[in-house]
Amino acid sequence: VKEWGHETLMVVNYQTLVQNTSDTLQRMQRFLNLPPAAKFPPPKLPASNERPFEGKRHLADIDPQICVGLREAWREQNERLYQILADPSRNFAGGLQPPFPPFPDPCDVTSASTRRRDNATQVAPARPPKVTALKSRIVSVKR
């Protein structure tokens, strides 16, 4: 961000993409300087990662104390992220930044059991990801 500026970075919350697919995809197309897509209905995106894979974990399976510990460990970084993305003076994505709502509380038993039923949740990473923005507007995330 320091090298190319906030206007070259768009951060998309998957929840926002699922809930407001058409608007979010249009913002992404404009941000990437792609021609507008034909006027077809937006694709129906799954609300969760429904694909099974080896080692997949669900929040409902995590010890509640560990969940609370992870939530607290990430609280400050998440709050900072929300503040940064909400600051209009930073001009993220050249003003095309989609809304970025706070993440759902991973320790909410109701929410976790619902996501468990939908096979929606994976364990949060143990450390913040290292994000590298490339000049071509592609972002890679390394853990």
How confident is the model at residue 103, as a pLDDT? Answer: 87
Which pTM does this prediction carry? Answer: 0.64
The runs of H, that is alpha helices, within the chain are 14-19, 21-31, 64-86, 109-117
Q: Distance of CA 69 to CAs 62, 101, 106, 116, 123, Å?
A: 11, 22, 11, 20, 13
Count CB-CB contacts under 10 A for residue 93: 22
- Is residue 139 within a helix (H) or strand (E), and if so which, with residue range? strand 139-142
**What does the pLDDT look like over 70-108, one tens digit per residue?**
889 999 999 999 999 999 999 999 999 999 999 888 788
The DSSP code for 93 is G
Q: What is the pLDDT along the chain (143 residues), one digit of tens a residue?
A: 778 888 999 999 999 999 999 899 999 999 999 888 767 677 888 887 778 888 887 777 888 888 899 889 999 999 999 999 999 999 999 999 999 999 888 788 665 444 444 434 444 444 444 444 433 344 444 44
